[in-house]
Amino acid sequence: MSDWKIRRAPTIQTELEVPGDKSISHRSVMLAAMSNGPCVIKGFLPSEDCLSTVSAMRALGVKIEQADETTLIVHGVRRAFTKPKGDIDCGNSGTTMRLMAGILAGQPFRSRLVGDASLSKRPMKRVIEPLTRMGAKITAEGKDGRPPLVIEGGKLKPIQYVSPVASAQVKSAVLLAGMFAKGKTSVTEPTQSRDHTERMLEYFLVRPQKQGLTVSVFGEQTPESREFMVPGDISSAAFWLVAAAAQPHSRLLVKNVGLNDTRTGVLAVLIRMGAAIREVIENPQAEPVGVIDIQGARLRGTEIRGAEIANVIDEIPILAVAAALAHGKTIIADANELRVKETDRLAAIAMNLRAMGAQVAETEDGLEIIGGTPLKGARLDSFGDHRIAMAFAIAGLFAEGETTITGTACVNTSYPGFYDTLEKIIRQPPGEQTHVVTSLPTH
């Protein structure tokens, strides 16, 4: 179904689980593929983006079995990949393209990475530049460093890279390339971005070093094959967290969710806005995992800027919806990175919020939202961006009348099953608590 029709929802009293973390799912397949034997990955997110990484790895000669919907067995090839027969299609996934570019930079063969229309518009100079300095030859066939990318890899030299952007994708591309270079490769970032690659290297016994905002890896090590458990994705949970936070008397428990503190900025923001939140880490493995317990309130505006932006980079669309529902002014600044995501998210958020009657001003690097004007249902486009579609579906739960979201197929890139959960929440009988485990697609 490509259009969603959404109406105002009752107070939320629910427990739920969300599918596996997207960033961690990508990395688990890549590291396992580089390892020295079979790795069982549980809780894998079988979304279109992560499946692009699975097919990319298969194209490089890695055997990957799918034992069930969310369990993969990846047979590591000891960093010895084989030349792909054709192009590697990264679909909509920026993480696949940028991280694969790092791995392919270190391979003694030529490869070509392609993507869909949205990915073909995204900037790749940010990875081309450091990988070229390491010795790879990369040609961007698109305008101004845009995909497709032709990579002629080979012997790499280690570099000390100071990244101009706080981007986990850039950091990871350089670190993964560093695995194929002789010696120590370092990346320094301007502010802390998600640290899943570093944690996973550590877990697969490739001892990275971390000092402040610099991470280093010693190359030519082969990750040790191990079982890995992917926690639920806090970026997917964020939609339900806001749905509960913005409604006094709502109560939501999210179980088995990743609580890595480079990703939990959304909780800090919602607490500042007035929600009551408790998080309990139950199982600190490679990644901390636990429960979030949230109680709704009358939210108030806040400021989100500076170093916090990287921590909430994927949550800005849904936090902008929370801001529109809150009383007072919310300022989002230093968020120019949102202009180069799956779509220009600042423009998309401003357009859709305005269509719902909210007061919003778009600035060069952010948004200013005066919350509290009642939202009205509208016909809204996803702009082909999964997080815009889901954020505005949640806005629809608070709007007067019906909200239609068009172009929702993109949601399968990160959260297959989102709409099923939404329907269960909408249909929940008043006063009754339900337990919703997001079902994953059966096709």
Q: Looking at the annotation, which residues are catalytic?
A: 314
Q: Minimum Å distance from CB 172 to ligand S3P?
A: 6
Residue in 215, 216, 127, 134 with CA at minimum distance from that of residue 164: 127
Judge whether 245 and 262 are in contact, CB under 8 Å. no
Q: Minimum Å distance from CB 95 to ligand S3P?
A: 4
**DSSP codes of every residue in 220-255:** SPPPPP--EEPPB-HHHHHHHHHHHHTSTT-EEEEE
388-425 burial, b if ≥16 CB within 10 A, otherwise e?
bbbbbbbbbbbbeeebbbebbebbbbbbbbbbebbebb
Residue in 386, 312, 378, 322 with CA at minimum distance from that of residue 351: 378
Residue in 189, 187, 184 with CA at minimum distance from that of residue 220: 184
Q: Minimum Å distance from CB 169 to ligand S3P?
A: 3
Q: ∠134-138-139 over CA atoms, to 5°?
A: 155
| CB closer to ligand S3P, 338 vs 399 | 338
DSSP letter for 404, please.
Answer: E
Q: Minimum Å distance from CB 64 to ligand S3P?
A: 19
User: Which amino acid belongs to residue 268?
Assistant: A
**DSSP codes of every residue in 173-197:** HHHHHHTTBSSEEEEE-SS----HH
| CB closer to ligand S3P, 196 vs 255 | 196
Binding positions for ligand S3P, rule: CB under 6 A: 23, 95, 167-169, 172, 193-194, 313-314, 337
Which element (helix H / strand E) includes 90?
Answer: none
12: Cβ–Cβ under 8 A, 6 or more apart, which residues? 240, 243, 244, 247, 250, 251, 252, 296, 425, 428
| CB closer to ligand S3P, 23 vs 302 | 23
| CB closer to ligand S3P, 194 vs 255 | 194
| CB closer to ligand S3P, 122 vs 255 | 122
Cα–Cα distance for residue pair 260/242, rounded to 1 Å? 19
State the residue for tokens 């299609």: 89
Cα–Cα distance for residue pair 369/310, rounded to 1 Å? 20
| CB closer to ligand S3P, 169 vs 250 | 169
